Amino acid sequence: MVACEQGYLCDVCGKDVEAITESDLYLRYILGEVSPLALPTLRERHIRCNPATAQYIVDPAFEPVRCEGMFAKEQMDVAYVAEQEARVTRAWRRLQEVPKLGIPLTEYPLPEVRAAWQRHT
Ligand SMILES: [Zn+2]
């Protein structure tokens, strides 16, 4: 399989996911929810096209996303929501920075994710 840097289509809306900074896949990779080996095999999605995760991004630079239905954060435990907002927002901010940092892909994830990987190797 030939992997290419650009030209991945969103699994939800069908439009191009033009930049890594708007990729739900890479956001979840930074969160440690996707392993580096699984990364090339998974379908790409826009962050905004996955409201269940995007609703937890709380940053002035990110227009808030509302998630409806059973995964809406209004339905969740307050402490859980606060924890998710802190974690997902931190990962989103890191995602906005990584293209400028010039670091290898394996250093993209949050520090605690990388530390957990290192304990396994
Ligand atoms: Zn999309």
Cβ 19 vs Cβ 97: under 8 Å: no
Q: Is the pLDDT of residue 4 over 90?
A: no
Q: Could you give the 3-state DSSP secondary structure of residue 115?
A: helix
Q: Which residues contact 81 (CB under 8 A, 6 or more apart)?
A: 56, 73
Q: How far is the CA of 120 from the centre of ligand 1 (A)?
A: 34
Q: What is the pLDDT of residue 7?
A: 65
Distance 45 CA to ligand 1 centre (A): 5
- Whole-number Å distance, alpha carbon 116 to ligand 1 midpoint, is 31
Q: Which residues surround ligand 1, an ion (CB under 5 A)?
A: 10, 12-13, 46, 49
pLDDT tens-digit profile of 70-87? Answer: 999 999 999 999 999 999
